[in-house]
Amino acid sequence: MNDKYTLSTEKLNAIRTSVDIVSIIGAYIPLTAKGKNFFGVCPFHDDHSPSMSVNKERQIYKCFSCGAGGNVFTFVRDYENISFLEAVKKVAEKAGIALSMNLLENNSNSKYTRYYDMYDIACKFYKNNLYTEEGKDAISYLENRKITNEVRKEFEIGLSLKNSHLLTGLFLKKDFSKEEMIANGLAFVKEGELRDLYFNRIMFPLFDLTGKVIGFSARIYRSMDASKYINTKETSVFKKGELLYHYHKAKNIARSKDQIIVVEGFMDVIRLFTIGIENTVAAMGTAVTKEQLLLIKKMGREIILLFDGDAAGRNAAYKTSSELIKMGIYPKIVVLEEELDPDEYILKYGKERMEYKLSHPMNAMDFKLQFLKEGKDISSPLDKANYITSVIGELNQITDPILREATLLKISEETDFDVNIIRSKLSDTKEIPITKEYKKKKASSLKVNRYEEAERRLIFYMLNHEEIIKRYQRDVQFLSTERYRLLAKEINYFYEEHGYIKEADFINVLVEEKDLMQTLHEIMSLSLKDDYQKEEIEEYIATIYEYKIVNQINYLKNEQKNTIDQEKKKKLGDQILELTIQLQKKEIWEDL
């Protein structure tokens, strides 16, 4: 077991065997039984058909499209976007096993620990400032904006004071360097003097997916000749395109409701919270990225886009809905009147009006038709042609035949245009079966010769059969391909240490080894039967042994070419001949 963790391999394995991976994964994504395996749409890539297989007997999962795979812990870790040990605790709770988080502390010092510590200190510092004498004006401003004390505490809102040396001074006292402050986006140098980046602003902390503070959005609250907001620059821990504001608190609420509401700004999230709507996340004003869409996809089957009501907001809703449709997800869209954003809309019209809007969203295609029709005169032949062409482009992205046909009939009636002519312009959108997609992808991304294939297959059976490990130890001992050799070494080590092998348990020792995990996923994704034939194993070992002989022959030929000693040259030639005859007669097989 990786010595970074205080939990033993035995304890991890006991937790894992106390739960059923099918039940755990089935609580996150729908699974359908097919033979002895269960299949579902993979949540770790833009999956359009069930390509993830969950094996109840082996207690593992693997995706035949993107290569994701592992045990119950790695699934929960990757789905929830939490640490491995936090995933262990979640699984333990489901099994009724109590674990103290103190036992789960990672003993190694993360290279980002000091960054997190700095932001934690800054957040506490700003929160404390808000409730000082100097914070009265800021509190008054927030109260006028209907941001109550409860809301301020929920979102950890604080205040940076007028003095621009307070936070940097505090950091210096705590032995943080100037370079760390600048790199972390909390300080800057002006006229040779180190200063706080944020001063005299209301501070809204930004969080990572697990709830750690990793940045701030700082808002003016007095008349100032400055930007309304100053946001933390991208740092080693703050990458805006990989995060969603409020994700760490919204994810469980959204999953329980099976609905997630996506807004553009963090103030929209805060305002919705004030009226009791908490299943919300924000992309914080940027175009929604693929990474964010995958996070959104995992939070609920019903996705509602509640973007700003202006042209930019409608355009963002159009683009985001298009990306979701490519992933096989059809969101719903709420369009706000008067070009208001959700924050403004609630302040102007109140809770009931917003609740009504959210309970009566538009479906994605109706919104797209409305969006594409904006500024067009359908009675004009040119505008009508452009509109129909645009709609055809949208329909070509849809694989649902009923939705396609319904939309076809709608635009035909709307434009008084022959439905058959429109239908004839559509492309064939039949999906490629996952097996073909998988084989095509694997053929282009991973090319192996027959020797490497023999090594891979032997490792596949080593992962669940002790007798194959013993054969490896007796007859092989060494693999020529480095990544397979290293993986085989780890399997051997696990078996020697624990006296058994099971891939669902073995996965636990590799969670921090990215390269080894990638190789393991490759092996797990092989389309092989769980049980083996003795003849198969003999063939794999013979092929591996053959490769050793071929390598030895090549080595001797090189030695022979580079020597001028005739006696040595002859001796090398005899050795090459003997090995060549062995290959031709396959005498090496008889020694196995």
Q: Which residues of 277-309 are buried (b: 16+ CB within 10 A; e: fewer)?
A: bbbbbbbbeeebbeebbebbbbbbebbbbbbbb
Looking at the DSSP bridge assignments, the partners of residue 75 are none
Cβ within 8 Å of residue 117, ≥6 positions away = none
Domain span at 553: 446-590
End-to-end CA distance of the chain: 33
Q: Compute the distance between CA of residue 563 and CA of residue 513 in angstroms, rounded to an integer.
A: 43
Q: Are both 454 and 557 inside the same structural domain?
A: yes
The answer to whether residue 110 scores a pLDDT higher than 50 is: yes
Confidence category of residue 448, pLDDT binned at 50, 70, 90: low
pLDDT digits (tens, 9 = 90+) for 404-429: 888 888 888 888 888 888 888 887 54
Contact 48, 42 (CB under 8 A): no
Is 440 a domain residue? no
Q: Is residue 133 assigned to a domain?
A: yes
3-class secondary-structure state, position 37: strand
Q: Are residues 92 and 183 in the same domain?
A: no
Q: What is the pLDDT of residues 290-327, one digit of tens each?
A: 889 988 988 888 999 999 999 999 999 999 999 998 88
Q: How far is it, in rounded angstroms, from Cα 208 to Cα 491?
A: 35
The dihedral built from the CA positions of residue 254, 257, 259 and 263, taken in this order, carries a sign that is negative
Q: Which of 69-83, 269-283, 304-318, 333-347 has the lowest mean pLDDT?
A: 69-83
Composition of the chain by helix, strand, coil, percent to 5: 55, 10, 35
Of 186, 213, 236, the domain-final residue: 236
Distance (Å, whole) CA 127 – CA 24:
39
* Selected residue with higher pLDDT from 158 and 555: 158
Residue 1 has a pLDDT of 39
- Looking at residue 85, its pLDDT comes to 85
pLDDT band at 14 (very low <50, low <70, confident <90, very high): confident
451 shares a domain with 586: yes
Q: Please tell me the predicted confidence (pLDDT) of residue 166.
A: 95
More confident of the two residues 101 and 397:
397
Check residue 255 and give its pLDDT.
85
Q: Quote the pLDDT of residue 195.
A: 94
CATH number of the domain at 329, please: 3.40.1360.10
Confidence of residue 224 (pLDDT cuts 50, 70, 90): low
Residue type, 317: A
For residues 199 and 164, is the Cβ–Cβ distance under 8 A? yes
Maximum mean pLDDT: which of 109-118, 286-295, 314-323, 444-453: 314-323
Whether residues 24 and 73 fall in one domain: yes
Give me the chain's average pLDDT, please. 85
Question: Among residues 199, 215, 236, which one ends one of the domains?
Answer: 236
Q: What pLDDT shows up at residue 274?
A: 96
Question: Which residues are CB-contacts of 579 (< 8 A; sequence separation ≥ 6)?
Answer: 549, 552, 553, 556
Distances (CA, A) of 440 to 435, 443, 444, 456: 9, 5, 6, 19
Indicate whether 122 and 253 sit together in one domain.
Answer: no
Number of domains present in the structure of the chain: 5
Q: Which two tokens stand for residue 135?
A: 């914070």
187 contacts 232 by C-beta, under 8 angstroms: no
Residue 164 lies in a domain: yes
User: Helices 381-395 and 364-373 sit at what angle, rounded to 10 degrees?
Assistant: 150
Tokens of 188: 């800057």
Residue 81 carries which side chain, given as an amino acid letter?
N
Last residue of a domain, one of 174, 205, 236: 236
- Residues 519, 391 share a domain: no
User: What is the share, in percent, of the chain residues with pLDDT greater than 70?
Assistant: 90
Q: What pLDDT is stored for residue 578 in this prediction? A: 74
| pLDDT-above-90 percentage for the chain | 41
Residues 6+ apart with CB under 8 A from 236: 112, 115, 183
Asked if the model's pLDDT at residue 6 lies above 70, the reply is no
> Residue 422's pLDDT is what?
85
256 shares its domain with 329 = yes
| Of the candidates 506, 530, 497, the residue with the CA atom closest to the CA atom of residue 13 | 506
Question: What pLDDT is recorded for position 225?
Answer: 55
Q: Measured between alpha carbons, how far is 338 from 342 in angstroms, rounded to an integer? A: 11
Looking at the structure, tell me whether residues 346 and 374 fall in a common domain: no
* pLDDT (0 to 100) of residue 303: 95
Q: Which of 123-132, 374-383, 385-394 has the highest mean pLDDT?
A: 123-132
**Residue 441 located in a structural domain:** no
- Whether the pLDDT of residue 106 is over 60: the answer is no
Is pLDDT of 590 > 60?
no
The residue count of the chain comes to 592
Place of tokens 């944020």: 198
Domain identity same for 59 and 83: yes
437 lies in a domain?
A: no
CATH number of the domain at 178, please. 3.90.980.10
Higher model confidence: residue 268 or residue 391? 268
Q: How many CB atoms lie within 10 A of CB 97?
A: 15
Give yes or no: residues 297 and 201 share one domain. no
| Band of pLDDT at residue 490, cut at 50, 70 and 90 | very high
Give the whole-angstrom CA distance, residue 523 versus residue 67: 10
d(CA 347, CA 243): 27
Is 436 domain-assigned? no
How distant, in Å, are the alpha carbons of 25, 208, 259, 511 from that of 291?
21, 13, 19, 21
Token pair for residue 427?
């492309």
Two structure tokens written together for 471: 């054969």
Does residue 585 sit in the same domain as residue 460? Answer: yes
Q: How confident is the model at residue 541 (pLDDT cuts 50, 70, 90)?
A: confident
User: Residue 99's closest CA among 125, 74, 73?
Assistant: 73
Residue partners of 299: CB distance under 8 A and separation at least 6: 250, 251, 254, 255, 260, 279, 281
In a domain, 96, yes or no: yes
82-90, Cβ contacts within 8 angstroms, sequence gap of 24 or more: 82/209, 82/210, 83/210, 84/511, 84/512, 85/5, 85/7, 86/210, 88/7, 88/12, 88/15
Give the C-alpha separation, 454 to 460, whole Å: 10
Segment 99-115 mean pLDDT: 60
pLDDT at 544: 84
> What is the rounded CA–CA span in Å between residue 431 and residue 464?
34
- Is 432 inside a domain boundary? no
Which pLDDT band, with edges at 50, 70 and 90, does 111 fall under? low
Buried b (16+ CB within 10 A) or exposed e, 436-469: ebbeeebeeeeeeeebbebbbbbbbbbbbbeebb
> What CATH number is attached to the domain comprising 36?
3.90.580.10
392/384 Cα distance (integer angstroms): 12
DSSP 375-388: T--TTSHHHHHHHH
140 band by pLDDT with thresholds 50, 70 and 90: very high
Same domain? For 468 and 355 the reply is no
Domain containing residue 576: CATH number: 1.10.860.10
